[in-house]
A = this chain, B = another copy of it.
């Protein structure tokens, strides 16, 4: 791999001394221009088979730049809280804000390589993990993140020499975990294997928006100067420019228009008598309690998404669900305008941060679907933004499902007349919790545009692992029971079928 790099790459001490102050100034200027612009985050990956080189180069970067606006992250052992969530959670959690730089030592590449090399995953699992990593980078890049991924290369004999040094040094030897020691042992025995794994990983993840930059790392001066110069060029090259357009993956960009509307097919006259409602509500709430306190649920989690027309009764339905749940395990997250910390991140970040731990439940009152509803309609994001969101959302939900999180999604539908009736009723009673705002009236005028957006959304994001349930909500009793029953049926099927 990268044969040309086996040719010596060196910089003399004198040349290094002459060039270093200039590089340092350039780096720190780039860092402050980036900070001031607040335009995009910079994600630096430092990887390769050169263990000592990785951390030495990271230290050098930190030492050159202002350490207050850059952070190094090495997730050697995920914490318990991290293990209790889908595997990309800890990386989402560690992402730098716009305007800042995050350095990741191996980052999300450690997992797939190690798992496959140690035989903990088969080749299909390895490719799946690679896909996950690729989608992660793609979605961040598409929101503007700048990737600078370094891959350090050392001649074979030097790799082993350095490892020996590492193991002998009293200051580093104790830091090797059992797993690392095992990897190390295997690595020496199966060097060619390891190289093959790495080559496949690197090959599959070198993309236009996040290319790997191979660097001959045998000479520390050459390594650090090259890393520094590359980083300056990358930041400078992007500042003041729009992020490059990233080619879309086939189908996801195509949105059908017209055709039969999933909403118009609903029979909104469906209803339930008060007496039946009370009986069935009690019954379904009992089922939900039983399903979520059992041992089987301990290793799973539930994410319930509520979307719907204004005044469709989301709040009331959520309350009936929450009543049946253990409050210690349940959180309801109302999604309104993002906080400034959220605005400084990828649009999915604020949903990742609220994912439930194993055994827990999170209910989203509005959700990431805002991207393809309100943001699409109000023009808060560009057309290509919301068009690719369908695919991003499918991937996001697939990651949750893969981890064992059960995802249910509801659209509560009422008709235009019923909405008007409820708006007027709410204005009359004047309860704060039901306040009708000007925005509600404005949204109402866009009824048909919303219907189209909902139709596209359901069409494009209903998957077996995370199906949409359209709820006829003109009658609240009917709607609430349907919501509860849907959750229960899904939980029952999931908890029965899969062994995790």
Contacts and interface: CB of A to CB of B under 8 A. Distances in A.
Interface of A: 25, 28-29, 31-33, 36, 55, 58-59, 62-63, 66-69, 71-74, 76, 79-81, 103, 105, 171-172, 174-175, 289-290, 293-295, 315, 318-319, 322-323, 326-328, 330-334, 339-341, 363, 365, 431-433
| 5 cross-chain pairs, A with B, having the tightest CB-CB distances, nearest first | A32-B432, A72-B327, A80-B80, A74-B328, A68-B334
A433 B315 contact: no
Nearest to A35: B432
Copies in the complex: 2
15 contacts: A32-B433, A33-B432, A63-B322, A63-B323, A67-B318, A67-B332, A67-B363, A68-B365, A69-B334, A71-B332, A73-B328, A76-B328, A171-B289, A172-B293, A341-B341
Given A63-B322, A80-B81, A81-B79, A71 B340 contact: no
A72 B293 contact: no
Given A68-B365, A319-B66, A59 B327 contact: yes
A301 to B, nearest CB: 15
B332 A59 contact: no
A11 to B, nearest CB: 21
A332 B103 contact: no
Nearest to A75: B328
Given A79-B80, A334-B68, A433 B327 contact: no
A72 to B, nearest CB: 4
A165 B308 CA distance: 42
B328 A72 contact: yes
A328 to B, nearest CB: 4
A39 to B, nearest CB: 15
Contacts of A294: 171
A339 B344 CA distance: 11
Given A67-B318, A68-B334, A327 B32 contact: no
Nearest to A289: B171
A244 B29 CA distance: 50
Contact of A432 (B36, B290, B322): B36
